[in-house]
A and B are shown apart, each in its own frame.
Chain A
Amino acid sequence: MLELRGLSKHFGGVKALDGLDLTVDEGEIFGLIGPNGSGKSTTINVICGVYGQTAGTVRFRGELMDGQPPHRRLRAGIARTFQNIRLFPNLTVWQNLWVAQNSHQDIARQGFLPRWLGTTRQTRKEIAGLLELADLGHKGDDLAANLAFGEQRRLEFARAAAARPKLLLLDEPAAGMSRVEIDDLSRRIRRVRESGVTVLLVEHVMELVMGVTERIAVLNFGNRIAFGTPSEVQHNQAVQEAYLGSSSPEPRPAGRKS
């Protein structure tokens, strides 16, 4: 599904990513964790084309993505959410989802007019489904700016799903969430996966990562230091040292990124 080979990204003298290899299989929920500054966000940004890599390749479903702008990658099936939410504040909830549908394969294929001008019964039905997924069914006509923080996070998630991606990149979706909201979010992530979407989850909140993912890669200093199932990673010596500098049973408690 997604294949990163020898991926490097240098910012001046800083090696944010240094020869990272990673393979995400179709249909899995893959976790990417690591201490602050270990290269997680850089990885997501390179995958969806925010900036180009210094070296290495990104392959998505066998195709090289290098040099493709973000909207092309989305059309190929890579969608993302943002760590700091980036909705369109003066558009309504419904309109936020509607705009995001423009990369939807089925709609794009119908040609210029349905893509840029109209709504069809299918698009309305899908938006209703997304509103329901985000528990925002009654708030469709509210401005995104007027939503509560948790609701904005849910809208951000639904908006990424609106393009019906094949791969969904979640950049710290649980930051600042309560325990109940985190349980809610893991249910949502599982539901999206059941609809055939592969998920790459970058997260600090261990409750979410350990509960929802099948495989985890741990980054530090722009490279992979561990890889395996959640329990394998949890008991890995190198991981514990990376997080705490010494041996300790838990990598890091739940909480907001500082």
Chain B
Amino acid sequence: MIDFVQNTVDGIMFGSSYALLAVGFTIIFGVMRRLNLAFGATIMLGAYVGTWLHVNYQVNVLIIALAILASTVLTGVYVERLCFRAIRRDAALASMVSSFVIWMQLEEVAIHLLPERTYPFPSLFVVDAIEVGAFLFRAEHVTMLVLAVAMVGALHLLLHRTRFGLALRAMSENPRAASYMGIDTGRVMLCSFALVSLVGGVAGYTILATDEQITPFFGLWTTFKGLIAMMLGGMGSLPGAILGGLMLGVVEAHSQWYLGNEYKDLSAYILLFAILVLRPGGLMGRRILSREELAYRRV
């Protein structure tokens, strides 16, 4: 019983970072109906810039964290310009393919920046695990959860309480009408890329600070986790992304404990398979999509 609770809480804590990754994918999908495959690579390159600073100059971890956020946002904006802005009137597939190519490009940049296979990644602070009764929590996991909750809370306020957030949601509902309501759709697109890159940067940083090492495969890893979590919750759904991320974290934690490390990734795919068979649109996606359809039919 204690194991079960411990694993569940661990899973939720780590899953909160999956949730942030999924939020990044799902916001771009919601606003543009396009998949940004370079999102994971964006986070990876941002983290590589921080690692490069760490390896070569031994600067303060706080500065490294800020450098990672800044370079992730810049890379996100770069991806938007190249894969989304430049071809916004073309097929959505064109954006997907070109963002895949940019993924390869960003990976190449990272490998040239730091050519060895793995590098140490600086932890934010070195603290012992936190003991609560019979339970033991890693400080990094607690930080992860706290930051994720703060990010999701801030996002929620932004999307529901500011005119920018409403413009973003208006755009995801009807881009053309939004443009005639005076919303600069290009600006909103750019800002949403910067925004999700910031969210992704936070997620990437907390994950790497837990792992304490980085490889170029981090881009692939974040893409997998983020996409699976998004698919679980339903594409384009923000609550779905959060739910999917937490669920993925919990299932991974349990299967790692009860079945062994080699089953961790496999169980994630089995979970995805089960959800897609039972609810093809994802947990929240189908309901939201059908409600949207209904709304369009009425409006």
Contact = CB atoms under 8 A, between A and B. Distances in A.
Interface stretch (A100-108, A173-181, A223-231): A100-108
B166 A99 contact: yes
User: Chain B interface mostly helix, strand, loop or mixed?
Assistant: helix
B298 A89 contact: yes
Interface residues of A, number: 34
Given A82-B177, A91-B170, A152 B299 contact: yes
Interface in B132-155: none
Interface in B240-299: 291-292, 294-296, 298-299
Interface stretch (A9-17, A68-76, A248-256): A68-76
A143 B294 CA distance: 13
Interface string B179-216: 11111110000000000000000000000000000000
A91 B182 contact: no
Contacts of B167: 99, 102, 116
B185 A71 contact: yes
Interface residues on B, range: 20 to 34
B162 A145 contact: no
Interface in A141-158: 143-145, 152
B169 interface: yes
B179 A86 contact: no
Contacts of A163: 181-182
Given A70-B180, A102-B183, A86 B166 contact: no
Given A86-B174, A87-B299, A144-B299, A103 B181 contact: yes
Nearest to B166: A99
Contact of B180 (A80, A96, A98, A118): A80
Counting chain A CB atoms within 10 Å of each CB, the highest count among B162, B164, B180, B183 belongs to B180
Contact of A87 (B169, B177, B179): B177
B182 A88 contact: no
B299 A99 contact: no
A159 B170 CA distance: 13
A90 interface: yes
Interface in A95-131: 95-96, 98-103, 115-118
Interface string A214-243: 000000000000000000000000000000
B163 interface: yes
A48 interface: yes
B180 A75 contact: no
12 contacts: A70-B180, A74-B181, A79-B182, A82-B177, A82-B180, A88-B169, A88-B178, A89-B299, A90-B169, A102-B163, A102-B183, A144-B295
